[in-house]
């Protein structure tokens, strides 16, 4: 019953977000007889894309992509695994590419986004409670800026990770600091959390779903997720993204049409509830 309630909660959240994106007035009719060719890029980033282990192919992005493919028979789909840096370079070069699990930003010169299909809990600080306790405010939040400015604490992040502007500015200010570290390689976000568990770093900025994945695969730890004073508790919209060109615009029209049916499927609802419920 508890899992069912979680799944239904996530479904209602996703459906409401999608409905809010729906255009008013004239509705674009998608020609489902048109043959569309789509290259989907995926990278090893649990719990969004999971390539091995108990939860292989059950990540948020895995289920989303499989659902999109099943609901877009008019398209020829190719899935290519590549690191995030290569995905970014190809999109920068205007190569036709889609990524199933992007944060939907208010503006982007490189991506065109689908309607919102998911809402994530916001980025927050992940750390051991004893590290964060002296910095908590009366609402149980912590200032990311104050942590970064503390000369006794070491911050680490995946090397390719970019954050919302307010957080990215703080991160940029810390570069060159001996207590600023970046971690590269596959599953870099999980590797950062493992460094936290072993006490080699003090805090990171991450989505709570990644901590959920670590707990499910490695067992309980003392690591905790904390809302920040900078971002608060406002949910973060997610969407499919494609290269921002005429090809991408056409593909996104087809994706948006498919999403109308996908958000009501049991697999999609269960995935959202499993990974994203607080």
Closest by alpha carbon to 118, among 228, 276, 278?
A: 276
Structural contact between residues 153 and 128, judged by C-beta atoms closer than 8 angstroms: no
Domain 124-226, what fold? Answer: D-Maltodextrin-Binding Protein; domain 2 (3.40.190)
CA separation for the pair 111, 242 (Å, rounded): 5
Which tokens belong to 124? 């927050």
Summarised one tens digit per residue, pLDDT across range 99-146 is 999 999 888 999 999 999 999 999 999 999 999 999 999 999 999 999
Q: From CA 193, how far away is CA 196, in angstroms rounded?
A: 5
Of 22-31, 117-126, 146-155, 200-209, the one with minimum mean pLDDT is 22-31
Q: What share of the chain in percent tops pLDDT 90?
A: 72
Query: SS3 of 191, please?
Result: helix
CA 5 to chain centre: 22
- Cβ-contact 102, 239 below 8 angstroms: yes
DSSP reduced 3-state for 217? helix
CA angle centred on 142, ends 137 and 147, rounded to 5°:
125
Alpha-carbon dihedral sign for residues 207, 208, 211, 217: negative
Nearest of 161, 41, 187 to residue 101 by alpha carbon: 41
| Residue 96, number of CB atoms within 10 A of its CB | 16
pLDDT, residue 162, reads 85
Same fold, 2-120+236-276 and 124-226: yes
**pLDDT tens sequence across 139-197:** 999 999 999 999 999 999 998 888 888 999 999 999 888 999 999 887 899 999 999 99
- Residue 13's pLDDT is 33
Distance CA(184)–CA(38), nearest Å, equals 28
Whether pLDDT at 12 is above 60: no
Q: Can you give the residue ranges of every domain in the chain?
A: 2-120+236-276, 124-226
Q: Taking a C-beta distance cutoff of 8 angstroms, is the pair 149, 137 a contact?
A: no
Judge: domain 2-120+236-276, CATH 3.40.190.10.
yes
* Other CB atoms within 10 A of residue 212 CB: 18
Structure tokens that stand for 21 in this block: 């994106």
Contacts of 178 (CB under 8 A, 6+ apart): none
Q: Where are the alpha helices (DSSP H) in the chain?
A: 2-21, 60-70, 84-92, 129-132, 144-149, 165-174, 188-197, 208-218, 246-262, 266-276
pLDDT at 18: 34
- Per DSSP, the residues of 5-69 read HHHHHHHHHHHHHHHHHSPSSS-PPP-TTS-EEEEEEE--BTTTB--SSTTTT-SHHHHHHHHHH
Please tell me what DSSP assigns to residue 224: E
Which pLDDT value is given to residue 186? 77
């Amino acid at each position: 019953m508890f899992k069912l309630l979680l799944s239904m909660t996530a479904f209602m959240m996703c459906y409401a977000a999608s409905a809010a994106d729906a255009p008013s007035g004239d509705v674009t009719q998608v020609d489902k007889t048109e043959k569309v060719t789509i290259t989907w890029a995926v990278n090893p980033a649990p719990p969004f894309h999971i390539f091995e282990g108990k939860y292989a192919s059950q990540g948020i992005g895995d289920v989303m992509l499989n659902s999109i493919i099943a609901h877009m028979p008019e398209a020829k789909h190719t899935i290519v695994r590549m690191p995030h840096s290569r995905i970014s370079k190809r999109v920068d070069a205007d190569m036709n590419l889609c990524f199933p699990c992007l944060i939907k930003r208010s503006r982007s010169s490189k991506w065109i986004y689908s309607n919102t299909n998911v809402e994530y809990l916001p980025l927050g600080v992940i750390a051991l409670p004893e590290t964060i306790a002296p910095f908590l405010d009366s609402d149980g939040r912590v200032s990311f800026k104050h942590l970064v400015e503390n000369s006794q604490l070491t911050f680490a992040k995946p090397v390719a990770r970019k954050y919302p502007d307010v957080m990215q500015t703080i991160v940029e200010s810390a570069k060159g600091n001996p207590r600023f570290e970046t971690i590269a390689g596959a599953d870099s976000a999980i590797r950062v959390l493992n460094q936290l568990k072993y006490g080699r770093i003090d805090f990171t900025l991450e989505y709570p779903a990644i901590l959920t994945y670590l707990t499910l695969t490695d067992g309980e730890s003392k690591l905790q997720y904390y809302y920040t004073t900078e971002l608060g508790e406002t949910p973060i919209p997610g969407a499919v993204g494609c290269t921002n060109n005429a090809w991408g615009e056409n593909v996104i029209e087809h994706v948006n049409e498919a999403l109308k049916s996908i958000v009501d499927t049991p697999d999609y609802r269960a995935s959202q509830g499993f990974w994203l419920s607080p």
